[in-house]
Amino acid sequence: MTKIDMRDAFFEKLVEAARLDERIIILSADHSAFALKKFEEEIPDRYINIGIAEQNMVGVAAGLAASGKIVFIYGISPFVSLRVLEQLTIDVAAMQLPVNVISVGAGFTYSTDGPTHQGLQDVSVVATIPGMTILNSSCPTNTRAFVEMAISSEKPHYIRIEKEVLSDFLDGFEFRFNANAGYSSFGDLDSKLIIITTGITGQIVSSKLKKWTQEFKTSIRLIDVYRIKPFPNLIAELKGHTHIVVVDETYRSIVGSNISSLLLKINEQQRILIEDTGEIFQFLGSTREFMTDFAGLSPTRLERKIALFLGQD
């Protein structure tokens, strides 16, 4: 299956949409991507490099959106979430303007740049903004779909896209994507174990499903949540599974919190294990693979933890 950089998957689709819709405009905080250069060259009058001034960029975007534009703003995760929290809350969300934040650098993507560039807190912070939809990229299919979802709703979005070169989920499991559901699903509906992922962790887990099915001697169901807010209704999916594992490359997993709340409503005797990054910072110069393992989210460490969780020590 063809692999593609998730930034290019997103921006190629956005270029197609912009050719047909003159309301679409892009603002960049002095950050680029291969397919974004194509937008700049082909539609230069609707591409503006604001410079490294993210708070100002959000204010400009709000003004353009209020005048009838559908605006996409692009920058590195911490700088278009933590740095601009007040502007997103007041200028954009409170007014319910069609401003779409394209946040690149999820999780440990920019591992070599240290704590200033880590994208661990962004989802937890942005989730506190009323009226802000959060979408989290995990494969080309949902990344491309985010473009039309954002344009058609004409509401604020925080769109978290990977910088990795990825393909759609493999490993022999049927891929079922529903643009309205908020999640994709794989595997056995009647399995004992269900693993819930979001973002890059969907790729990590799906690559090991066949191996883990054999190792744990049980069938496994995978749910990949791509719409974190509003959170999808997974009650029907969760019923009947005795062991639930959440894997999320963020700090204080919002997905884990929401799953825990849903389990209280089900009121069944189910066990849940939530694996997120915990309270760590990146080490300057370390790779994403090293940091993922350090946080306990590498396939090897996840396999050990899930085995213990299933009582297979």
**pLDDT tens figures, 32-90:** 777 788 889 999 999 999 999 999 999 999 999 999 999 999 999 999 999 999 999 99
Instruction: Tell me what percent of the residues of the chain surpass a pLDDT of 90.
Output: 66
Class of the domain covering 176-309? alpha beta
Q: What are the domain boundaries of the chain?
A: 4-166, 176-309
Q: What is the pTM of this model?
A: 0.93
- Asked if domains 4-166 and 176-309 share a fold, the reply is yes
Query: Which CATH superfamily groups domain 4-166?
Result: Thiamin diphosphate (ThDP)-binding fold, Pyr/PP domains (3.40.50.970)
**Is a pLDDT exceeding 80 seen at residue 181?**
yes
Average pLDDT score over residue span 290-297: 88
Q: How far lies 9's CA from each of 12, 79, 140, 270, 291, in Å?
A: 6, 22, 6, 38, 26
DSSP category for residue 260 = H
**pLDDT tens figures, 193-240:** 999 999 999 999 988 988 999 999 999 999 999 999 999 999 999 988
- What is the rounded end-to-end Cα distance, in angstroms, of the chain? 36
Q: Poorest-confidence range of 10-19, 23-32, 67-76, 82-91?
A: 23-32
**Is a pLDDT exceeding 70 seen at residue 178?**
no
Q: What is residue 173's predicted lDDT score, i.e. its pLDDT? A: 45
Which residue shows structure tokens 């230069």?
44
Distance CA 243, CA 132 (A): 31
